[in-house]
Amino acid sequence: MQITAAQLCQLLNGKIVGNPEIKVSGPGKIEDAKQGEITFLANPKYEAFAYTTNASVILVKRDFEPKQPIKATLIQVDDVYASIALLLEKFGGGIKSQQGISSQAIVDQTASLGKEISLGHFVVIEENAEIGDNAIIFPQVFVGKNAKIGKNTILYPGVKIQHNCIVGDNCILHSNVVVGSDGFGFVPQEDNSYKKIAQTGNVVIEDNVEIGANSSIDRATMGSTIIRKGAKLDNLIMIAHNVEIGENTVVAAQAGIAGSSKIGKQCMIGGQAGFVGHIKIADGTKVQAQSGINKTINEENTAWYGSPALPYNDYLRSYAAFRKLPELMKKMRELEKRLNDQ
């Protein structure tokens, strides 16, 4: 597909600086894009590439003022990231699945299948499971007994939805996501062994949720582990039993949230952050990467950093002092020596 800068500009409600008739056929990274590609500049760290890139068109902010001549045509927009997201969708991000049910899929006769669905090779749909209209289920996906998959939801290869779990409409679960594995529940015994606690609950994933590859969402001991609508989880995330993730909260890779913790709405959680169990995190909380949260956070819209985590600015001040400790220790030893020599 080829499209002119003028057509792109109209689509994005932008303003053209340069040749409106130049054509592009796909996207490329600003540092190595080729002629005929469109790229974007949103982070000032990459501005130097705007002057050397071979891209034909660059998306920039409306207030961008080049410091050097740029040979590419510019399209000025209000929100660069939102615009590039729209274009990537238009240029066809992701792979497509052929509509229909593979002859190699195994579907229990009691399962309910919606209209215009796609089931790939070696998909297994167990008894009384429900698949919503327009769902796309790639090869080697397992959907357990009484599980429900919503409309327009995509399950990529290797996803496992265990019994009684629910996935809402317009969700995307990437390869090897496991929904409904047993929660980590054991009772210590007198002989120092552990007895397993039956995990009788389920997982409820609401609408418009996306979960990255190799993440796991444990079923509740009783009740439900809940991922609220609009939440976005990255790859390799661990959500323990009875956790609740609030609406439109985003969690980066390798984060782990222990049992029965409640994360609020519109939170932003950095990679490798860890949360102890049975705490509550207020709406709008921001947690920096590798931070450890060991207590409830009640105040909304605060930022935290460190392990154990401190309020963000307190951590920066503490770290600034910590970095000077070797120098301070050296000065203290010098003072002690001088005092001892007197």
Q: What kind and span of H or E run contains 217? A: strand 216-218
Q: Where are the beta strands (DSSP E) in 62-131?
A: 73-77, 100-101, 106-107, 112-113, 118-119, 124-125, 130-131
Instruction: Please report the pLDDT score of residue 97 as a whole number.
Output: 64
What average pLDDT does the segment 226-242 reach? 98
Instruction: Say whether 17 sits in a helix, a strand or coil.
Output: strand
CATH number for 285: 2.160.10.10
pLDDT at 94 over 60: no
What average pLDDT does the segment 8-28 reach? 93
Instruction: For residues 53 and 120, state if they share a domain.
Output: no
Contact (Cβ atoms closer than 8 angstroms) between residue 281 and residue 303: no
If you ran DSSP here, which 8-state letter would residue 297 be given?
A: B
> Among all chains, which residue has been given the structure tokens 């982070």?
43
Report if residue 30 sits inside a domain.
yes
Instruction: For residues 188 and 73, state if they share a domain.
Output: no
Q: Nearest 5°: phi and psi at 5?
A: -60, -35
pLDDT in tens, 82-91: 998 888 877 7
Instruction: For residues 18 and 72, state if they share a domain.
Output: yes
Question: What's this model's pTM, rounded to 2 decimal places?
Answer: 0.83
pLDDT at 21 over 60: yes
Instruction: Please report the pLDDT score of residue 95 as a whole number.
Output: 59
Instruction: Please report the pLDDT score of residue 63 as a whole number.
Output: 92
Instruction: For residues 104 and 80, state if they share a domain.
Output: no
Instruction: For residues 248 and 199, state if they share a domain.
Output: yes
Mean pLDDT, all residues of the chain: 94
Instruction: For residues 75 and 106, state if they share a domain.
Output: no
In DSSP notation, 115-136 reads: TT-EE-TT-EE-TT-EE-TT-E
pLDDT at 173 over 60: yes
- Residue among 172, 244, 233, 232 nearest 204 (CA): 244
CA distance 106 to 110: 12
pLDDT in tens, 148-164: 999 999 999 999 999 99
Contact (Cβ atoms closer than 8 angstroms) between residue 224 and residue 244: no
CA distances from 53 to 9, 297, 326 (A): 20, 46, 45
Question: What is the crossing angle of helices 312-323 and 325-341, to 10°?
Answer: 40
Instruction: For residues 69 and 211, state if they share a domain.
Output: no
pLDDT in tens, 239-260: 999 999 999 999 999 999 999 9
Last residue of a domain, one of 39, 66, 90: 90
Instruction: Please report the pLDDT score of residue 315 as a whole number.
Output: 82
Instruction: For residues 85 and 119, state if they share a domain.
Output: no
CA distance 261 to 133: 33
- Residue 47, both tokens: 């501005």
Residues involved in catalysis: 241
Q: Determine if residue 208 is left, alpha or beta; phi over 0 gives left, psi from -120 to 50 gives alpha, anything else beta.
A: left
pLDDT band per the 50, 70, 90 thresholds, residue 99 = confident
CA distance 9 to 25: 15
Instruction: Say whether 216 sits in a helix, a strand or coil.
Output: strand
Instruction: Please report the pLDDT score of residue 327 as a whole number.
Output: 87
What's the domain range around 52? Answer: 3-90
pLDDT in tens, 262-280: 999 999 999 999 999 999 9
pLDDT in tens, 282-316: 999 999 999 999 999 999 999 999 888 888 888 88
Contact (Cβ atoms closer than 8 angstroms) between residue 261 and residue 283: no
Q: How many domains are contained in the chain?
A: 2
pLDDT at 5 over 90: yes
pLDDT at 183 over 80: yes
